[in-house]
Structure 1
Amino acid sequence: MTEARVSTRRRYLLCEPKYFTVEYAINPWMDPSQPVSTELAVKEWTELADTYRRWGHRVEFIEPQPGLPDMVFAANSGTVIGGRVLGARFRAPQRAPEADHYRRWFLDHGYRDVFMPTRTNEAEGDFTWTGAVLLAGTGFRTDPGAHSEAQEFLGVPVVSLSLVDPRYYHLDTALCVLTEANATRNAHIAYYPEAFSVGSQRVLRRLFPDAIIATEADAECLGLNAVSDGRNVVLPMEATHLADQLLHHGYDPTFLDISELRKSGGGPKCCTMELRG
């Protein structure tokens, strides 16, 4: 019998891609020589925000800043668990100023436990909360030393995972949490094994034996850069095999066009920071 999936109300922070463009290349998806439509990126982002609101979630916004075309990717600028905020420290100098804008947003909105890391840490790009442990990616962006900083400040157990394919430079491009763990169940995830080292694949199989295994085609369209509320899942429209698997496991997938945002290596999750607690 397919397990009944239950949506839980979420709170998300988003940033309009008002200044979105691709003017530098810091991942394999970015090509400054290709045309980019800011108008289309805003349309894609607006549909994402509207989708969250249709599902009953609370959506908050941070003001975009000129000269920061990747600020739309809010997930990279903070990890929030239990009301504690672990900020970001970007590897690429082009994105470094984003961290302080998000830090000030948190302080202006009543957050007091805000810690800015000393090690390179690209937040929910490489930190994925399962409800029980924090999965932490490394290999291209976030330093391994940032994993211990996260454990110390957030007070949650951290499991390190090594990424080995530069196309999947952040953990959230290769893995997503579909249902969080609670007192009676393990977390349910989807992931693309080939994005991870052999040892990390063994870890994932041990921790999540019932995970949905994504195909190469799912991964190549950033299908795993999805957002789930426990039942509803928003994902790129090309991720059809993954959507079929989600339906089989009791989820309700919603397709979005992210073709313009993907030119910078981003999708639904990259645009979405979850504000927990």
Structure 2
Amino acid sequence: MAHVIASADQLDFSITDLPSMPLPTEVLMVRPLHYTVDYVINPHMANQVGNVDTIEAQNEWDLVRALFDQIGLNVRLLEDHDGLPDMVFCANQSLPYIDQEGNRHALMSIMHADQRKREVPYIEQWYRQNGYEAHFLDETKIDDFEGCGDAIWHTGKRMLWGGYGYRSSLTAYESISELFDIPVIALELVDEAFYHLDTCFCVLDEKTVLIYPDAFTDEGLKLINTLFDKVIEASQYEAEELFACNACCPDGRNVIIQQGCTDVNKNLRDAGFSVHEVSTYEFLKSGGSVFCMKQMLW
């Protein structure tokens, strides 16, 4: 079923037609020992250089880690490195995958910003040491691709949602679709404050998604509304200031989300999800929250 779909009239399948994929059972987190805001590569970092409370950031990270453990995921840890303050956002450096024979793979990212390129080899080394086969995109043809920041698996299905426009190239998804033999639904991002797909789009379960609608084109919204039975919308304040859509729902039931997202959290509970609020204020200063701070694994 390998192909990239960028408009609703290209759809020739429904979600129920897709092969199943097991849910992740593990989560990789990178310690925030060197986390700071040292430069500006997205709008959220403006005026935040030097403003991180590193002790509070560690406390926030510890709580997120504890919640993943509490809901039953095996938490794997990797040390960060001096000079790589954004390595803690380990959703970005790779796209992991498990094939239908149970073999584990990881496609390594081509980071958009020069400041983050040195993160990728450390993540690659971890994958190789833990039984994953590493794959690479052709950097002579593809400018950038930032892993699960922009490439998000549909819960329980062999299909990706792929964001492009700021940190990842549309052409990357052609290679990804062919490599993993899966369809990719390509969504153009149109607001620089929502520079990654995971800042405005959170798959909750097979039928439900949380989005900030103004981050997408009309065609993108049509694709989302066609393939999900229920679309929960976040307000601009909760999406942009509190990163509501950068929540994580690893099991289709439990949602870990930045505290204070009052309207979104009510809608999540009304839809039957268990909501776990955390403080990630120190990480919001760098433009990330829960989803950015982890990588789901098999």
Give the alignment's TM-score, normalised by structure 2: 0.85
Q: Give yes or no for the alignment of 1:224 onto 2:260.
A: no
- Cα drift, residue 81 of structure 1: 1.6
Per-residue CA deviation, residues 55-81 of structure 1 (Å, 9 max, x unaligned), is 111110111111000000000011112
Among 13, 28, 33, the residue aligned to 1:13: 28
Separation (CA, whole Å) in 2 of partners of 1:34 and 1:68: 14
2:76 aligns to what SS in structure 1?
strand
Q: Say whether residues 1:169 and 2:191 are aligned partners.
A: no
* 1:233 aligns to 2:249 (yes or no): no
Helix, strand or coil at the partner of 1:165: coil
Question: Structure 2: which amino acid aligns with 1:103?
Answer: E
Q: Distance in 1 between matches of 2:60 and 2:85?
A: 15
Aligned residue number for residue 231 of structure 2: 211
Report what 2:105 is aligned to.
84
What does 1:89-108 align with in structure 2 at a 5 Å threshold? Answer: 89-108=110-129
Query: d(CA) in 1 for partners of 2:165 and 2:235?
Result: 21
Q: CA contact under 8 A between 2:38 and 2:50: conserved in structure 1?
A: no
**How does 1:125-274 map onto structure 2 within 5 Å?**
125-130=149-154, 131-132=156-157, 133-179=159-205, 181=206, 187-220=207-240, 221-228=242-249, 229-274=251-296
Unaligned segments of structure 2, at least 5 residues: 1-22, 99-103
Ranges in structure 1 where 5+ consecutive residues have no aligned partner = 1-7, 182-186
Structure 1 runs (4+) greater than 3 angstroms displaced: none
Instruction: Provide the alpha-carbon RMSD of the alignment.
Output: 1.3
Q: What is the letter of the counterpart of residue 140 of structure 1?
A: Y
Letter aligned with residue 191 of structure 2: D
- Residue 5 of structure 1 is matched in structure 2 by none
Q: Match of 2:6?
A: none
In the alignment, is the contact (CA less than 8 A) between 1:127 and 1:171 conserved in 2? yes
Aligned equivalent of 1:75, options 91, 102, 111: 91
| CA displacement at 1:149 relative to structure 2 | 1.6
Q: 1:48 aligns with which of 58, 64, 69?
A: 64
1:217 CA displacement: 2.3
Return the alpha-carbon distance in structure 2 between the equivalents of residues 225 and 205 of structure 1: 19
Paired residue secondary structure (1:253): strand
Percent identity at matched positions?
33
Q: How many angstroms does 1:34 deviate by?
A: 5.2
* TM-score (normalizing by structure 1): 0.91
Partner of 2:147: 123
- Name the CA shift for 1:60/1:245 in 2 (closer, same or farther; >3 Å): same
Contact 1:86 1:154 in 2 (8 A): no
Give the aligned length.
262
Task: State the one-letter code of the partner of 2:134.
Answer: V
Q: Which amino acid aligns with 2:42?
A: N
Amino acid at match of 2:227: L
Contact 1:234 1:255 (C-alpha < 8 Å) held by counterparts: yes
